[in-house]
Amino acid sequence: MKLHPMEPEPIRDDVLSHLRKCKVFHFAGHGCTDTADPSKSQLYLKDWETNPLTVASLLELNLHQEGPFLAYLSACGTGQIKSQRLFDEGIHLISACQLAGFRHVIGTLWEVNDQSCVEMAAIIYEEMLRGDMSDESVCRGVHVAAKAKRDEWLDDTNAANKTCDSVRDRENEVHGKEDDGERDIISLEEDDDQGLQGVGNGPLHWIPYVHFGA
């Protein structure tokens, strides 16, 4: 990608300073959505209590002349609005980065899983590399990553269903046999502690990821 990674101090002013000269801004950490005032939603840094990096902070930037390519906000709820009366306003961290001048922004609509964040980012950047960091490569990267995670979930679901079917078949085979005092078949209704319950039915980790941009 011909990029030179730099890691600023995790404090507001240093991050904002680096944003003025970066092409790709990747934030991996925690985000917070303000329930009353979306402009106060923030990315958590070391000085978040005294000098927070908020939506309002980003809106004050004017990066259009520099034309940064991508802001990747790998944090929870960077596109989330919790105030019902402001749902239609589109005031959140993703839109703030876009309005500040980033050509593309990747973020999330609600809470996300840490491991999924790492895996999604790896796939997205690999796809961008294959696409020479074109506009299309960003949206395609999000699509490819989401599809890959979805397919993994489907594979887990199918495996769980096959396991459950196998248990049912075995129960049917022994149904009616004389009870010798020992059970080696566990009823599906009693398998909570045996690892079958809920397999393949966990959170759909690929769904919250969204792309804003060209």
Q: Which residues of 146-181 are buried (b: 16+ CB within 10 A; e: fewer)?
A: bebbeeebeeeeeebeeebeebeeeeeeeeeeeeee
**132 φ/ψ sector (left φ>0, alpha ψ -120 to 50, else beta):** left
Q: Note down pLDDT in tens along the chain; length 214 residues.
A: 678 899 999 999 999 999 999 999 999 999 999 888 999 999 999 999 999 999 999 999 999 999 999 999 999 999 988 877 877 778 899 999 999 999 999 999 999 989 999 999 999 999 999 999 999 999 999 999 999 999 998 888 776 665 555 555 555 555 555 555 554 444 444 444 444 344 445 668 889 999 999 7
* pLDDT for residue 117: 94
* pLDDT for residue 191: 44
- Sign of the Cα torsion 163, 164, 165, 169 reads positive
Taking a C-beta distance cutoff of 8 angstroms, is the pair 41, 89 a contact? no
* pLDDT for residue 189: 46
Q: Tell me the one-letter amino acid at 44.
A: Y
Query: Would you call 31 helix, strand, or coil by DSSP?
Result: strand
Give 170's contacts (C-beta < 8 A, 6+ positions apart): 185
Cα 104 from Cα 94, distance rounded (Å): 9
* pLDDT for residue 204: 82
Give 41's contacts (C-beta < 8 A, 6+ positions apart): 31, 32, 33, 34, 54, 55, 77, 80, 91, 92, 93
pTM: 0.79
198: how many CB neighbours lie within 10 A of its CB? 9
Domains of the chain, CATH where assigned: 12-113+207-213 (3.40.50.1460)
DSSP-assigned beta bridge partners for residue 212: 105
Both structure tokens of 100: 């500040």
* pLDDT for residue 16: 96
* pLDDT for residue 184: 46
Query: What proportions of the chain, in percent to the nearest 5, are helix, strand and coil?
Result: 45, 10, 45
Taking a C-beta distance cutoff of 8 angstroms, is the pair 152, 199 a contact? no
How large is the angle between the packed helices 114-130 and 135-174, nearest 10 degrees? 130
* pLDDT for residue 122: 97
* pLDDT for residue 172: 57
Q: Tell me the one-letter amino acid at 70.
A: L
Cα 153 from Cα 46, distance rounded (Å): 35
DSSP-assigned beta bridge partners for residue 160: none
